[in-house]
Structure 1
C-alpha cells in the first residue's frame, strides 16, 4: 500500500493530516508557511487523493499506514478526523510522535450520554445514506457544515471546494468507512496516556468540534489551548496567520 506524500522545506519533520471527505491538498498554504522552518509532509490518508486504500479501514490501520512511511520521529498536526489519527498514532507509537497538535478535532465526534459536545449520530448516518445517493452533493453539504457559524464562512467554503477539486475525490469506500470511524471512535479514556507535548487549536464557532471540546482537552491534559475567535471548523484556513503563528510558537520558533 502506498501513501502519497508531498514534502516542503527542511528542518525537523512535521506531518499534516487532513480530515474526512478531503485530501492533503487542503494544507497547501499552511505547509508553505511552516516550511520556512520545518520539513513539512502533507499526506493523503488511505483511499483519499492519490493514496491507495487500506483494509480493514480502521483508525489503527490509518495510524499504521502513516507510521510505516515515517521511520523517524515527527511532529504531527491533525485536523478533525486527522487529529484522531494523530492521537491513535501517538498512543500506538509513543516514540514516533514528538508533539501533537489537534486542530478542530475530538476524541469523540458523536454525542454520547456523557458527551454533548459533538454532532448527533443521526447527522453522520444521514451523510452515510447520502453517499449512496448523490455523492458530490453530500460532500458539498459536509463542506458547508464545516463553515457554518464561521465569521467568513463563504470564503472558507470556497477554499475547501477549491482544495477538494485539486485531486481525485476520496474513494466511496474510504468515505463510508471513515464515517464509521467517526461514529465509533471514543478516545476520551486514553488521552491521559499521551506523553508528547500537545497544542489545541479550535474555533469558537465550530459546530462539529465545539469550543467545549478544546476546553475539556485543555483541562484534562494541561495543554495550551488557542481559541480562534470567529472561526468554524477550519481555523487553519479562516485564521491562517494566527494559526501558523501559534503553531510556530508551540514548536519553538517565536
Structure 2
C-alpha cells in the first residue's frame, strides 16, 4: 500500500467522503454511487485503514495533511462519518479556502461526554482502548454491534456492515489506537463556532454512540447549522436511510 487510497464516482461538484473508526471507504460504496448521480464523489481511506498506507503519526494535523494532498481538486465539500466527521471538521477549520461545505454524519466535535456536553461515556472509549490490546477482532466485532444496537432491522444491517468491513484487513494497530485517542481527546467546538461554510448535521435518533441531543448542542454553538435527525436510525444511517441522506445532501447544494 502506498499513499492514500481513493475511489471516485460520478461527475459534478466534488464531495469528499471520510469513513469512521476501524472502517474503510468500501463501507459506503453503494451510498457513494447513489450520491454520484448528482455529484463527483471522492471516497478516501484514512491512513492505516483499508488500502491506505500507515503514517508515522496518527493525529489530526498529520491526517489532514495527507488527505488534503490526496484530494485531486482544489475546492470541495466534505462528508465525514463518526471519526471521519471529526477529521472533516478539522480539515474545514484548517483549510477554509478549500472546503466549501461540511456534512457531519453521526459525528460530534467533542466525542466524550462531560457536564456541559452530550456524548459517549469516557469509560466506553477506555474499554475499547484496553480491549484492543487483548483481542482486536473481538473489539471490532463489539463495535460493529453497537452501531446497529436497538434497531428493528439490526441483524440485517449488522450482516451488511460485516460484509463491507471484511472486504479489507483490519486497520493497523497504531491507527486504531490513534483514532480512539483522537475521539477521546479532541474538542473542536470552537471550530464549529468559527466556521463560515455551510454545515449540515445528520444523525439518527436511536444512535447508541452519538446521543440525539448532540445535534441540538451543535446548533447552539452555531445557529446556522442545518440539523436533520433521522427517525429510527442508528449510527449507520447510510445503510438504513440512504435515500433520506441523499435528499438532504442534494437539498444542501
Verify same fold: TM over 0.5.
Answer: yes
Aligned to 1:76, the other structure's residue is in SS state strand
Question: 1:106 — aligned with what?
Answer: 108
Q: Over aligned residue pairs, what C-alpha RMSD do you find? A: 1.2
Aligned to 2:229, the other structure's residue is in SS state strand
Query: When the two structures are superposed, what TM-score results if normalisation uses the length of structure 2?
Result: 0.95
Aligned to 2:252, the other structure's residue is in SS state helix
1:67 deviates by 1.0
Aligned to 1:102, the other structure's residue is in SS state strand
Question: 1:225 — aligned with what?
Answer: 227
Question: 1:55 — aligned with what?
Answer: 56
Q: Does 1:91 align with 2:93?
A: yes
Query: When the two structures are superposed, what TM-score results if normalisation uses the length of structure 1?
Result: 0.95
What 5-or-longer segments of structure 2 have no aligned partner?
Answer: none
Question: 2:10 — aligned with what?
Answer: 9
Is this contact kept in 2: 1:16–1:27, CA < 8 A?
no
Following superposition of structure 1 onto structure 2, how do residues 116-155 of structure 1 map, counting pairs within 5 Å? 117-155=118-156
1:113 deviates by 2.8
Is this contact kept in 1: 2:89–2:191, CA < 8 A?
no
Please give the alpha-carbon distance, in whole angstroms, between the structure 1 residues aligned to 2:76 and 2:102. Answer: 9
1:132 deviates by 1.1
What 5-or-longer segments of structure 1 have no aligned partner?
Answer: none
Please give the alpha-carbon distance, in whole angstroms, between the structure 1 residues aligned to 2:127 and 2:39. Answer: 40
Please give the alpha-carbon distance, in whole angstroms, between the structure 1 residues aligned to 2:80 and 2:34. Answer: 16
Give the number of aligned pairs: 250
